[in-house]
Amino acid sequence: MNKLRIAVLGLALVGAAGLAYAQTPPKVINVGPNDLIQVIPNGAASAGNVYATPAMIVGVPGYANLGTLVTTNTYTFTNGVTNAFAHAAGTLAAIGLTTEPNPADGKRECFWMDAAVTTLTWTANTGQTISSNVHNAGVAYQSNCITYVASASTWYSSN
């Protein structure tokens, strides 16, 4: 009888150890804007670690809340910011937007406001150009978006 008890206990311990190995690793429920995600460039592991914030990953929208705008304003998109939005104290005559300095191919930048903008000017950062098809006025409650095409170093309207 003792041999049977020892055998059952041994099988239980082996089964418990097997369960410990079979469990899935913990997953992150929410990723914050300042969290760092390890990146393996080109899928090849190398010495040293490379990290990116969620907003730096193309297609993951980072945002900037510009608050309440009262007068003519300018804003320069920083690397990783996709959406900039603001509340207007009234109709604004002009807003100037400058693209981020190091966009990836397919990077999208959008500006949204709850009031019309008479003159909306997109300015390309160093080494980039803005296509002539980009809108030059802003409609209330509608995004004004542009997308970067790296092969042409040009931003195009993508509304």
pLDDT at 22 (0 to 100): 58
Q: Would 106 be classed as within a structural domain?
A: yes
CA distance linking residue 138 with residue 62, whole number of Å: 21
**Section 33-59 average pLDDT:** 76
130: closest CA among 145, 143, 111, 140? 145
Q: Would 47 be classed as within a structural domain?
A: no
Strands 108-113 and 144-149, by their bridges, are: antiparallel
- Give the predicted TM-score (pTM) of the model: 0.65
Q: Would 118 be classed as within a structural domain?
A: yes
Our count of domains for the chain comes to 1
Q: Which domain holds residue 84?
A: 58-157
pLDDT at 75 (0 to 100): 93
pLDDT digits 0-9 by tens, 112-123: 999 888 899 999
Does residue 14 surpass a pLDDT of 70? no
Q: Would 41 be classed as within a structural domain?
A: no
pLDDT digits 0-9 by tens, 78-115: 888 889 999 988 878 899 999 999 898 888 999 999 98
Q: Would 12 be classed as within a structural domain?
A: no
Q: Would 6 be classed as within a structural domain?
A: no
Does residue 145 surpass a pLDDT of 80? yes
Does residue 77 surpass a pLDDT of 90? yes
pLDDT digits 0-9 by tens, 22-41: 567 777 777 777 788 888 87
Does residue 151 surpass a pLDDT of 90? yes
Three-state DSSP class for residue 33: coil
**Section 128-137 average pLDDT:** 91
pLDDT at 2 (0 to 100): 64
CA distance linking residue 70 with residue 36, whole number of Å: 35
Three-state DSSP class for residue 101: coil
Q: Would 14 be classed as within a structural domain?
A: no
Q: What percent of the chain has pLDDT over 90?
A: 34
CA angle 39, 42, 45 (to 5 degrees): 65
Does residue 20 surpass a pLDDT of 60? no
Across the chain, the runs of DSSP E, i.e. the strands, are 37-39, 50-52, 62-69, 73-76, 81-88, 92-98, 108-113, 117-123, 129-130, 144-149, 154-157
Q: Would 32 be classed as within a structural domain?
A: no
What is the 8-class DSSP label of residue 24?
A: P
